[in-house]
Structure 1
Amino acid sequence: MQLESAIDHIVIAAQTLDQGQAWCEERLGASPLPGGQHPLMGTHNRLLQISSPECPQCYLEIIAIDPAAKPPRRPRWFGLDDAALQARLASTGPELVSYVARSNQINTHRWALLAAHLQPGEVVTASRQTPNGLLEWQIAIPDDGRPLAGGAVPMLIQWQGGHPADRLPESGVGLTAITVRGMADIVAQGLKLQPITRASRPGAALSAHFNTPKGTVTLHSHTGL
């Protein structure tokens, strides 16, 4: 089997899903659909189809702490427990925090990140119910829950069966490219992600570029600004 990885989804943190919904409609000109709950992490999400010729089988995830869920026994993913992030979400609204790379050999790609002296965390099994049935996946979650290299390096996921993007309708939004600052050569060589542009610092650790009904839109992470 060929060792492959691809951009799987873009992650937008929100204080609440309603806040994220309003932001998505205003900024990208499209309405995300209900996703589900993540009992393992105490979060829930809404999803938007953003597949494109450059980034096939890709979606945007708006994620927030689920106030109805039990607090997890570990830090939530994507840095959602960070007090500074939550303060920004309350004052300035949702923001780009991370992205996720789809792997067909997640443990091999995880070792590539470890070789770069990153801490991708252990691979865990997760799932959530959807109106179309159960989604299941394996994902490497950093022990502290924070995005790797400030968001320049993706989290790793390997799907078991179905994929969320295959169940989402067209939205008119397409991801065309990602720009990162802070991805080491050894990581780029190990993951071989496309279409990734590596840029020099200073600047945001992660930028995502979209075609939307409102024209070309670029989102930047807070880290590095």
Structure 2
Amino acid sequence: MLRSYIDHIAVTAPSLETGEAYIRRTLGTSLETGGAHPRMGTHNRLLKLGEMRYLEVIAIDPAAPPPDRPRWFRLDAPDPARPARLAAWIARTNDIAAAAKASPFSLGGIEPMRRGSLNWLITLPADGGLPLQGVAPALIQWPEGIHPAAALPDSGCALVRLEGFHPEAGKVRRVLDAVGFEDDFRVFELEPGRPPYLVAHIRTPAGMRQLGGPDG
């Protein structure tokens, strides 16, 4: 039986420093060092958001050679109005091949990825785009018993719920139903023509904070 859950949320930024400044401004906390993704020419910093949940700030790695394909999360085509923004979320699945096949809309091909000693499988559109503008999830599958959140220190932060806003919310719901989603993600209908966006409600040591929204 297919099952999937919120794994992590991704904040894209023109640099890790810009992304961390955005997180400090919105959540009032700093990030942990992540690492580099050689296949994508990117690197990240991380924040634990629960036992098997985390936030990543991801940016192009200026020290890495450019990849032979478009980078993930639309990092090659940033939004000039929102230089750092909550751009995507990733759902952990127990069978990525079956879940990707079951989705009524393509989530991309299944690609092997690596960061340091970590290895995983993830769905990636060939053009580096975001499924349903980031409101539908990318799918990820970690090796049994392995998850990066386990190595992160407790930040005092937790993801309470995640929301998506899309003019075709029904399409997002169909994807979630098809991949056996069993977590707290709510999707709301937007008026036609309005750009989709995500909102993460995060409990921090300073109280509840909101990340994302129509402005990022």
Task: Tell me if both proteins adopt one fold, taking TM over 0.5 as the criterion.
Answer: yes
Instruction: Look up the match of 2:190.
Output: 201
Instruction: Give the C-alpha shift of residue 220 in structure 1.
Output: 2.4
Offset of 1:103 from its aligned partner?
Answer: 0.7
Give the structure 1 partner of residue 81 of structure 2. Answer: 88
- Find the aligned partners of 2:52 and 2:66 in 1 and give their Cα distance: 31
1:22 maps to: 21
Identical amino acids, percent of aligned pairs? 39
Aligned length: 207
The answer on 1:143 being equivalent to 2:142 is: no
SS at match of 1:50: strand
Residue 148 of structure 2 corresponds to 164
Equivalent in the alignment of 2:90: 100
- Counterpart in the other structure of 2:5: 6
- In 2, Cα distance between the equivalents of 1:147 and 1:70? 23
Q: What TM-score results when the alignment is normalised by the length of structure 2?
A: 0.89
Aligned partner of residue 124 in structure 1, secondary structure: strand
Structure 2 unaligned segments of length 5 or more: list them: none
Identify the range of structure 1 (65-74 vs 193-202) with the bigger mean alpha-carbon deviation: 193-202
Alpha-carbon separation, structure 2, partners of 1:37 and 1:183? 36
Structure 1 vs Structure 2 CA RMSD: 1.9
Structure 2 counterpart of 1:102, which letter? R
Aligned to 2:106: 119
The answer on 1:65 being equivalent to 2:60 is yes
What is the CA-CA distance between 1:214 and the residue it aligns to?
Answer: 3.0
Q: How far apart, in 2, do the equivalents of 1:24 and 1:220 lie? A: 10
In 2, Cα distance between the equivalents of 1:3 and 1:119? 17
After superposition, the C-alpha distances for 1:20-79 in whole angstroms (9 at most, x for unaligned) are 22222222121111100001000000000011xxxx410000000000111111111011
Partner of 2:163: 179
Q: What code does the residue aligned with 1:94 have?
A: A
Cα contact 1:126–1:138 (8 A) shared by 2: yes
Unaligned runs of at least 5 residues, structure 1: none
Per-residue CA deviations over 1:174-221 (Å, capped at 9, x if unaligned) read 101111233524213113241011212136432211111232222225
Residues of 2 paired with 1:179 and 1:189: CA distance?
16
Q: Distance in 1 between matches of 2:64 and 2:190?
A: 39
Residue type matched to 1:219 in 2?
A: L
- Check whether the contact 1:35–1:46 (CA below 8 A) recurs between aligned residues: yes
